[in-house]
Amino acid sequence: MREGVQQENLQVGDEMEDGTIYAGISPDTRKPMYAMPTDVSLTYTFNAAKDYVDDLNALDSFSHTDWRVPTKNELNVLYENRNKGKLKGTFNETGSYPAGWYWSSSQGNTLNARAQRFSDGHPRYFYKSNVSSLRCVR
C-alpha cells in the first residue's frame, strides 16, 4: 500500500496492506471494491467458481470471508481498470477461450451466465458448463 494512503485518497490499482488491490467503486453496492492480486490459478465452470469462492471464504483468505464472484457490472469495472496501478498486467487479455474470458455472478437463466472477454471487453452469455477465468472481489 502506498505510504500514508487514507481510505478517501485511494486510487484504483492501489495495493492494500492485506495484499488486495483497490479496484474502484462497485456500481452495484456503491462501496469500494477490492480484487485479489491475481486470477485464480485454474479455469472453472460457473458452479465450480461459486464453490471455489465458498471454500475460499471458509479458509479466511487474506483475513476476509466476504469474497465473491463479481457481478457483470463489477466485472466491467475490473475490465475498465485492468491497466491501472497494481492491476496492470494481471488479467489475461489474449482473448483466447477459456482463459481470456472471466465469469461474473450474473445469470441469464438456469443454463447460462454472463462472462466478459478482457482483450476487448466483449460480454457474452456462456453455458454454465463452460469454463472461464475467475478474479474474486470483495
CA 38, 95, 31, 138 torsion-angle sign: negative
pLDDT in tens, 13-43: 999 999 999 999 999 999 999 999 999 999 9
C-alpha cell at 131: 469454463
The pLDDT, as a whole number, for residue 1 is 46
| CA 70 to the chain's CA centroid | 5
C-alpha neighbours within 13 Å on the C-beta side of residue 117: 12
Q: Which amino acid is at 38?
A: T
Structural domain boundaries in the chain: 7-127
The pLDDT, as a whole number, for residue 7 is 62
The pLDDT, as a whole number, for residue 130 is 97
Percent of the chain surpassing pLDDT 70: 94
Average pLDDT, the chain: 93
pTM of the model: 0.92
pLDDT in tens, 53-71: 999 988 877 788 999 999 9
| Count, residues in the chain | 138
Of 52 and 7, more confident: 52
